[in-house]
């Protein structure tokens, strides 16, 4: 059994819950009330040490001084989810793409848009992996595991809205 390390970091989205593997890679970033978000378990170890760089980069992002994250992370999902999550990394700060564009980027058929949405909704690294930059085909703000109000705040912060 491996140890999960955790800490919380204050930010404009509320207290962020960060988890890491024993080797220091970030394994999740959740917000309060997040659909499918992580909650602290009794056998986890609270230790802010592994998260200093993540907290510094998050602070710089929210201060408008950082536009991308350079952090080691380790997340596990199906091969399809991992392709979708990797495609999120290529969405530039201050821009948006549609679920259909993500499907096309990973070589999935147009009919896979719903599956792409499911994979994006399961993204364990909110903010750091910018799933908030994915919008509906008609430009509407659809779905965000952290809540649409947080999606609006993030896109406003990035100058999209």
Q: Which of 97, 126, 131, 135 is catalytic?
A: 131
How far is the first Cα of the chain from the last one, in angstroms, to the nearest whole number? 44
Q: Is 127 one of the annotated active-site residues of the chain?
A: no
Tokens of 135: 């919008």
Q: Which residues contact 114 (CB under 8 A, 6 or more apart)?
A: none
**What is the Cα–Cα distance from 155 to 158, expressed in whole angstroms?**
5
Long-range contacts of 21-25, Cβ-Cβ distance < 8 Å, separation of 24 or more: 21/74, 23/74, 24/50, 24/72, 25/72, 25/73, 25/74
Cα-Cα-Cα-Cα dihedral sign, residues 126, 130, 133, 135:
negative
Question: Which amino acids are annotated catalytic?
Answer: 131
């Amino acid at each position: 059994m491996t140890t999960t390390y955790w800490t919380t970091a204050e930010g404009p989205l509320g207290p962020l819950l960060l988890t890491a593997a024993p080797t220091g890679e970030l394994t999740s970033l959740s917000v309060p009330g997040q659909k499918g978000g992580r909650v602290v378990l009794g056998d986890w170890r609270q230790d802010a040490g592994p998260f200093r760089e993540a907290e510094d980069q998050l602070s710089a992002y929210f201060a408008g001084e950082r536009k991308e994250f350079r952090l080691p992370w380790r997340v596990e999902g199906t091969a399809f989810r991992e392709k979708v999550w990797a495609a999120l990394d290529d969405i530039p700060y201050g821009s948006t793409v549609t679920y259909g564009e993500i499907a096309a980027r990973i070589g999935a058929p147009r009919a896979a848009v719903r599956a792409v949405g499911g994979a994006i909704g399961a993204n364990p690294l909110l903010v750091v992996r910018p799933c908030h930059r994915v919008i509906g085909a008609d430009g509407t703000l659809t779905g965000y595991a952290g809540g649409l109000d947080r999606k609006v705040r993030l896109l406003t912060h990035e100058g999209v809205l």
